[in-house]
Amino acid sequence: MSLKASFEKKIFEFKRPSGTSRGVLTEKKAWFITVWNKHNPDVKGVGECSIIPGLSPDYENDEQYELKVSSVIKDVDYFSMNPDELKDFPSIFFGLEMALLDLKNGGEGVFYDTAFTKGEQAIPINGLIWMGDEEFMQSQIKQKLAEGFSCIKMKIGAIDFENELEILAGIRKQVSAKEITLRVDANGAFSPEHAPEKLRRLSEFDLHSIEQPIKQGQIEEMHSLCEKNILPIALDEELIGIHDYDEKKQLLDSIQPQYIILKPSLIGGFKGTKEWIELAEERNIPWWITSALESNVGLDAIAQFTSTYEITLPQGLGTGALYTNNTPSLLEVKNGELRR
């Protein structure tokens, strides 16, 4: 038994309430795992267990979650050797995986040795437009265009659909699809009956894709929408809770989506993400990686992991400036790119 560990809970405050499909968030909880070797206690690795209530499959409440984190900490040697025991706890799996990688690489916050990690290469990212009233969404769009983003992702399904169409029409009056790539994220807001018509109306604005138009778990209906290809569909929530390799294969073969979106905190860390990428690439399904409201610690680790791949699409890694009390960071966003 050579590994020791501890954990600490932190609460991050949003700069302004952030609208999501799970309601409006004002704060974000995370549990940080620190791991060290008892023979060399000065070198420590840190990982972030990041949850989103209502979305993270391993989180019911703080007490339940903290009990699980605590049990992992007490037996960190065992879980570091048997990480698959945590497959039903993807965010804790990820936090431990991150901490062990950091420790292995000297405890300096370097998870992968890449050109991005060295500050020599940037990752293109999409600018995220949060849900809110029309005026707030319009002001965010202006800001993202001014900041030089070439890809914008807008969350839809919170305000009246006609208003959302007007906002998209307004963007397209300013910039063409050649100038700005537009993605939308419905977070499962549409019913299967109304989805085809809504996708048809959205397709008039030269959109790149729509994330999760209907709720997860409706496999036949989602396959039908993907097959119609009214608008390219990216699976997001659909991947959550599927840990078995053969089940992942079955899902991709059953739905045959145009894209998949990968959130390590929700799908079993880097290990789970690698499996999805491998299966997607075998099927010629493009993918991109997205952070899930992690602090700068988790965001940096996800960005470094992302940079181990050849990046062909803008990634969803633009959440570093959300909190008033975020952790210190080497990351910065400039002209629609994430740099370290």
Supply the residues annotated as catalytic.
155, 263
Residue 260 has φ and ψ, to the nearest 5°, of -130, 150
Nearest CA to 188 out of 209, 211, 207 is that of: 211
CA distance 96 to 102: 10
Q: Which residue has tokens 């703080």?
A: 62
* Secondary structure (3-state) at 158: coil
Task: Collect all residues with Cβ–Cβ distance below 8 Å to 109 and sequence separation of at least 6.
Answer: 46, 102, 297, 300, 330
- The structure tokens listed for 228 are 């119609």
Structure tokens belonging to residue 316:
């969803």
Distance CA 275, CA 272 (A): 5
- CA–CA distance, 157 with 215 (Å, rounded to integer): 12
176-194 exposure pattern, b = at least 16 Cβ within 10 A, e = fewer = eeeebbbbbbbbbbbeeee
Q: What is the dihedral of CA 82, 83, 87, 92, to 10 degrees?
A: 140
